[in-house]
Structure 1
């Protein structure tokens, strides 16, 4: 059994991608990717896998994904849930723009702002 994922889980590969979809196709995009989100996030080697709507443009959807290693990413990229979602998006959604970056992480540390978050009510503090 895999250990629970938390912010100390080593992430070696990160993808950051955004999709600008035609306004009439936004729900089709959501419907295509939604079924495989929990499946993917639960896969061994997946640290995080999140789609999020842009706060300024409802037709932009961001994907952030983190993987422990290339083998885990390769398993995901050949899994039936991923391939099904990809097919549905490619066949039914007009993607007006897409840009993505792959990052290979050499080191990892806490992502708190300089000076930390004490006094800001973060992590149950008041």
Structure 2
């Protein structure tokens, strides 16, 4: 699962950079997916370890980062869309797309981690 974490980290970094440059480099908040990707990448790299307890620790840190990122991105996408509609203006499509993509990526990641944790617990010998 640590290697899959690195894949999601790269995807988030790319998403953040594309969003940032897609907004004309005017909005530094477009880099938020990049920061989550860097955090996942660092702890994902640390999770590549032969030690089981170290791997478990860093993967639990990663799934926590993923869950926080998913909740934040999903909340921000819904609230900014609702706010724009209540003001009678169109929402920023790049920002909304980036927030939705980040929420989607992190939801998939968290679900994959949960499945991996469940499988590991089932396969554990007592």
TM class, shorter-length: 0.3 to 0.5
TM-score (norm 2): 0.35
Q: Which has the higher strand share?
A: 1
Which one has more relative contact order, counting CA pairs under 8 Å at least 6 apart?
1
